[in-house]
């Protein structure tokens, strides 16, 4: 009987695979048929996006992930249908990248949407457009979680959040017909499809380089085996964080950045002096400063810097004061404008514009390699996720993570939803003493902390 059961199970599996293959063929046929005679539009990459194709590799993917956890298991077929329906309405993600003579550019992609797959690889892995119908993003799921992974050339975290929110809305309307009866059809009012290059629009003539390239402390150690990526999520009550920051008269960004720098000082430098500073790259969303609604990239990096240059150990409060001062000196409209205007001035240079793309790529790689090690790590706060009230009962939480880059084997990402703030750490190192110090210090500051791992550290 057991032999017969195994044979029947294998037969069912073969039939399921055959059905999936036939369904995909039908999807591709319909997509090809519907794309005939359709107009192909093209547009330039934004100023920041030009860098990512030049430096992207399988080990440094420039891919970020944002995820939504539902109150129920994900139905693969419904998620695929939601993506199929949404993508034609979301032109900012419905593109492929082409290589021109002088610059890369986007053009409309009429191929069928990427296949939704159950999560199998490590987060933020390389997105190969040749096996992804030319698309620069992927959608996967695991149990009750939907993952959106985006090649940074396409959009920054704000653009990704908009797409994931609309995908979640579309999926929930399919899974719960009662939602579809009352909810608005199409894209929500809070979603923008604006694709302007806000860097160019807000550029002011500048010739001063606004960022430093001096080498910072690099956190090194034994790597996780097999190219694994370790993931730790810390779930924190947002009201507690806000109250603490209000009492200390600092922002959440300032608090968490100083906490991370102090943890590196304690656990990696062991409170010793260093000729190199600990520098944390902090992406700053430029939209509020320049009244932009673009879904493309529109951010700059500032560096929170702490130089441990005395023999006597710095206290936690001293480190926090230094880091807060460092950030406040940089995060103002004038300085932020100078940072991106310097980069745009290079793009607008008549001589550089006429240089063939293969030479530009070599130059960008050289400049990136010389400046990439100016930061010890990155801590990105993509802000708060918001949902229309009718969808909130179906959603448990959001979180995100970012891939590694040159000289940075540990990175952090912060987001919130409702009264929960999620602090994520991704790392390729076996040692988690820095992350552990962050969590302990949070607890000592009176913040309730719940930690979750992807299990890599226990294998």
The predicted structure's pLDDT at residue 25: 52
Distance, in Å, from the CA atom of 295 to the CA atom of 58, rounded to the nearest integer, reads: 25
Contact 106/45 with Cβ under 8 angstroms? yes
The predicted structure's pLDDT at residue 19: 56
Distance, in Å, from the CA atom of 305 to the CA atom of 281, rounded to the nearest integer, reads: 9
Tell me the mean pLDDT in the region 378-399.
Answer: 96
Tell me the mean pLDDT in the region 400-427.
Answer: 96
The predicted structure's pLDDT at residue 357: 82
Tell me the mean pLDDT in the region 105-116.
Answer: 95
Residue 365: its H or E element: helix 357-371
Tell me the mean pLDDT in the region 147-157.
Answer: 96
Joined tokens for residue 282:
């902090």
Counting residues of the chain whose pLDDT is more than 90, the rounded percentage is: 71
Which pLDDT band, with edges at 50, 70 and 90, does 183 fall under?
Answer: low
Supply the mean pLDDT for the chain.
Answer: 89
Better-scored residue on pLDDT, 261 or 185 = 261
Residue 398: its H or E element: strand 395-402
Contact 158/285 with Cβ under 8 angstroms? yes
Q: How many CB atoms lie within 10 A of CB 36?
A: 7
pLDDT at 333 over 70: yes
Full-prediction pTM beyond 0.85?
yes
Distance, in Å, from the CA atom of 144 to the CA atom of 162, rounded to the nearest integer, reads: 20
Better-scored residue on pLDDT, 1 or 447 = 447
Tell me the mean pLDDT in the region 229-240.
Answer: 97
pLDDT at 7 over 70: no
The predicted structure's pLDDT at residue 207: 57
Which pLDDT band, with edges at 50, 70 and 90, does 179 fall under?
Answer: confident
The predicted structure's pLDDT at residue 23: 54
Better-scored residue on pLDDT, 211 or 332 = 332
pLDDT at 30 over 60: no
pLDDT tens-place string over residues 249-274: 999 999 999 999 999 999 999 999 99
The C-alpha angle 430, 432, 437, rounded to 5 degrees, equals 170
pLDDT tens-place string over residues 274-330: 999 999 999 999 999 999 999 999 999 999 999 999 999 999 999 999 999 999 999
The predicted structure's pLDDT at residue 105: 94
Contact 124/117 with Cβ under 8 angstroms? no
pLDDT at 134 over 80: yes
Three-class DSSP labels, 138-193: EEEEECCEEEEEEECCCCCHHHHHHHHHHHHHHHHHHHCHHHHHHCCCCCCCCCCC
Contact 199/44 with Cβ under 8 angstroms? no
The predicted structure's pLDDT at residue 38: 66
3-state secondary structure of 79: helix
3-state secondary structure of 16: helix
Instruction: Report the range of poorest mean pLDDT among 37-51, 159-173, 202-216, 241-255.
Output: 202-216
Joined tokens for residue 264:
């590196």
Instruction: Report the range of poorest mean pLDDT among 15-29, 210-224, 242-256.
Output: 15-29
Q: Nearest 5°: phi and psi at 29?
A: -65, -45
The predicted structure's pLDDT at residue 101: 85
Q: How far is CA 95 from CA 54, 76, 105, 277, 399, in A?
A: 18, 23, 10, 41, 25
Better-scored residue on pLDDT, 447 or 21 = 447
Contact 118/111 with Cβ under 8 angstroms? no
Residue position matching structure tokens 């304690």: 266
pLDDT at 27 over 70: no
Counted residue by residue, the chain has a size of: 459
Q: Nearest 5°: phi and psi at 51?
A: -75, -40
Tell me the mean pLDDT in the region 225-232.
Answer: 92
Counting residues of the chain whose pLDDT is more than 70, the rounded percentage is: 89
The predicted structure's pLDDT at residue 294: 94
The predicted structure's pLDDT at residue 10: 57
């Amino acid at each position: 009987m057991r032999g017969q059961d195994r044979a029947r199970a294998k037969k069912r599996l073969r039939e399921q695979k055959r059905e999936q293959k036939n369904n995909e063929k039908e999807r591709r046929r319909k997509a090809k048929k519907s794309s005939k005679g359709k107009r192909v539009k093209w547009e330039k990459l934004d100023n920041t996006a030009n860098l990512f194709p030049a430096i992207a590799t399988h080990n440094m993917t420039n891919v970020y992930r944002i995820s939504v956890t539902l109150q129920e298991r994900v139905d693969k077929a419904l998620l695929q249908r939601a993506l199929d329906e949404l993508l034609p309405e979301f032109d900012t993600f419905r593109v492929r990248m082409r290589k021109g003579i002088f610059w890369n550019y986007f053009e409309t992609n009429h191929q069928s949407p990427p296949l939704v797959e159950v999560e199998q690889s490590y987060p933020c892995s390389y997105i190969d457009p040749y096996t992804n119908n030319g698309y620069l993003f992927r959608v996967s799921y695991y149990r009750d979680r939907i993952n959106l992974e985006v090649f940074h050339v396409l959009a920054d975290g704000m653009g990704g959040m908009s797409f994931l929110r609309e995908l979640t809305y579309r999926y929930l309307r399919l899974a719960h017909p009662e939602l579809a009866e009352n909810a608005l059809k199409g894209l929500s009012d809070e979603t923008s499809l604006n694709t302007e290059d806000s860097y160019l629009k807000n550029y002011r003539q500048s010739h001063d380089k606004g960022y430093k390239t001096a080498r910072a402390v690099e956190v090194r150690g034994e790597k996780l085996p097999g190219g694994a990526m370790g993931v730790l999520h810390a779930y924190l009550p947002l009201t507690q964080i806000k109250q603490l920051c209000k009492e200390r008269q600092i922002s959440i960004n300032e608090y968490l950045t100083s906490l991370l720098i102090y943890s590196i000082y304690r656990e990696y430098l062991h409170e010793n002096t260093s000729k190199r500073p600990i520098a944390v790259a902090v992406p700053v969303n430029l939209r509020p400063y320049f009244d932009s609604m673009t879904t493309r990239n529109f951010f700059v990096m500032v560096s929170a810097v702490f130089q441990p240059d005395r023999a006597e150990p710095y206290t936690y409060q001293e480190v926090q004061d230094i880091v807060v001062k460092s950030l406040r000196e940089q995060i103002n409209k004038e300085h932020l404008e100078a940072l991106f205007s310097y980069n745009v001035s290079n793009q607008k240079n008549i001589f550089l514009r006429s240089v063939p793309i293969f030479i530009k790529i070599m130059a960008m790689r050289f400049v990136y390699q010389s400046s990439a090690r100016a930061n010890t790590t990155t801590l990105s706060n993509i802000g708060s996720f918001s949902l229309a009230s009718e969808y909130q009962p179906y959603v448990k939480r959001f979180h995100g993570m970012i891939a590694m880059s040159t000289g940075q084997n540990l990175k952090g990402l912060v987001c919130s939803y409702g009264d929960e703030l999620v602090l994520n750490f991704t790392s390729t190192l076996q040692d988690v003493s820095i992350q552990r110090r962050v969590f302990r210090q949070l607890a000592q500051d009176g913040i309730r902390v719940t930690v979750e791992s992807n299990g890599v550290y226990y294998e």
